[in-house]
Amino acid sequence: MLMGYQTALALDRGDFSVPFVLFGRMRTVTGAQQVTIHVDRGATVETGLRKFFNYYPQSRAEVFDVAWADGERVDSHGTPWLTVNRVYAVKPMWRVLLNGKDISYIGGPAVALNPGDEIHVFPPGR
């Protein structure tokens, strides 16, 4: 219960607001047409998406496929260890737009957010 409370507080914590405009099934799943989140200066689209989907976890499976990325870390003895990290990839035919541009064409989720930006989430068929 405390985690849900902290997630709700995080949605309103930040230097500026970013509206998420939702379409199709996303409106049904979240029960909202638009949701505003707040992010800190220097935040990326990924940060905004993470805040949004932490607040609406039931909608994450609608938009994203889970993928696994491997990496490597070295422990204190110099031994390399394989790491596996969960990453999310937008499902085929779904569109996440930043100011009307598909994020997959403008640098992906690492693109910085700025005051006045708006994120739109479109399901397949739009």
Q: Within 13 Å, how many C-alpha atoms sit on residue 114's CB side? A: 2
Determine the Cα–Cα distance for residues 118 and 11; give it in Å rounded to an integer: 15
For domain 2-122, say whether CATH 3.10.20.30 is its number: yes
Using CA atoms in the order 21, 92, 108, 15, what is the torsion angle rounded to 10 degrees? 20
Q: What was the pLDDT predicted at 1? A: 53
Determine the Cα–Cα distance for residues 13 and 95; give it in Å rounded to an integer: 26
pLDDT-wise least confident of 44-48, 55-59, 65-69: 65-69
Q: What was the pLDDT predicted at 92? A: 87
* pTM of model > 0.85: no
Determine the Cα–Cα distance for residues 111 and 104; give it in Å rounded to an integer: 10
pLDDT in tens, 79-125: 999 888 887 788 888 999 999 999 999 998 889 999 999 999 999 87
